[in-house]
Amino acid sequence: GHVSRVMRHLALPVLVATAAITGAAAPLPLAVAQPLTAVQGQLLITALPTGSHDLRLDGQPVHLDGDGRFMLGVDRDFTGTKALEWVTKDGRSARRDLVVTGREWVIDRLPARLNPPADPNAPRNLEYEARREAEVAQVKAARAEISPWPFWRAAFQWPATGRISTHFGAQRVYGDIPASYHGGMDIAAPHGTPVKAPIPGVVRLAAGPFMLEGNLIIIDHGRGLFSAMMHLSKLEVKPGDIVAQGQVIGRIGSTGRSTGPHLHWGMTWHGVKVDPEALLPPMPAKDATGR
């Protein structure tokens, strides 16, 4: 009995000491009081401290490079707060709010009569529907791969110089009915103007003319970021090509549904349409060759 009493006395301080050690190994969660801010339609490229890992946005995993850099896209119509959560280098769970603020979009208000309702009795154009379905499937397949390339980390350059004829997010409203918003940026320039890769990437689609997009190139910049270059008069790359920044990939045209020669540049991050304009330096002046 004496031995067991001694053991009981010894056991108690050991338990207390163990609790103290365990407490030190699980430091307090880190809550960053200062929120991260973004605007609607933004491709946010920023960083966490080196050694951070397991980043999530509203519970969904987001790729984090080894030095802490990451990107995320904000939907054009999202307002409110999203939660960023990650694990710090010393093993703490960390949290920070991402607050998304609204933007003033270019809204073109037109009378309702200019947008007549579709005729329910009109015969279906089955040939058009079948062709369009095949085109949409090609575009979807081109954006399906989430490749590990870090091309998205390059500083963006203009793919062509010209007048921005339509900004990202612009929208027509017929009476009270909004049409779908403009999901890219239009650069108007003469037919045949070179179109250059804004950052490096892998060509996933170079085909056409599609009925809406015309001749189309889709470039994979890595980690779910894609550029789509539409209405081209000429394609100068093929699927699988790795293109350098500034490499000529095609020429401006007016193929597909287009009212004049221009480049429509659409950018998506995991399917979220984002505005490339905010990532660009000021539009360069044309050089001496007029190109």
Task: Give how many domains the chain has, as a whole number.
Answer: 2
Is there a domain that residue 123 lies in? Answer: yes
Question: 240 pLDDT exceeds 90?
Answer: yes
Q: What is the mean pLDDT of the chain?
A: 89
Question: pLDDT for 71-108, tens place per residue?
Answer: 999 999 999 999 999 999 999 999 999 999 999 999 99
Tokens 């769970």 sit on residue = 93
Beta bridge partners of 82: 98
Assign 84 to helix, strand or coil: strand
Question: 290 pLDDT exceeds 90?
Answer: no
CATH of the domain at 58: 2.60.40.10
**Per-residue confidence (pLDDT) for residue 26, from 0 to 100:** 59
- Least confident among 11-15, 119-123, 211-215, 219-223: 11-15
**Per-residue confidence (pLDDT) for residue 286, from 0 to 100:** 65
The pLDDT confidence band at residue 267, using thresholds 50, 70 and 90, is very high
Q: Are residues 117 and 260 in the same domain?
A: yes
Q: Are residues 123 and 150 in the same domain?
A: yes
Contact 285, 213 (CB under 8 A): no
pTM, rounded to two decimals:
0.86
Q: Are residues 138 and 36 in the same domain?
A: no
Q: Residue 222: which domain range?
A: 107-279
**d(C-alpha 166, C-alpha 181), whole Å:** 11
Averaged pLDDT for residues 150-179:
95
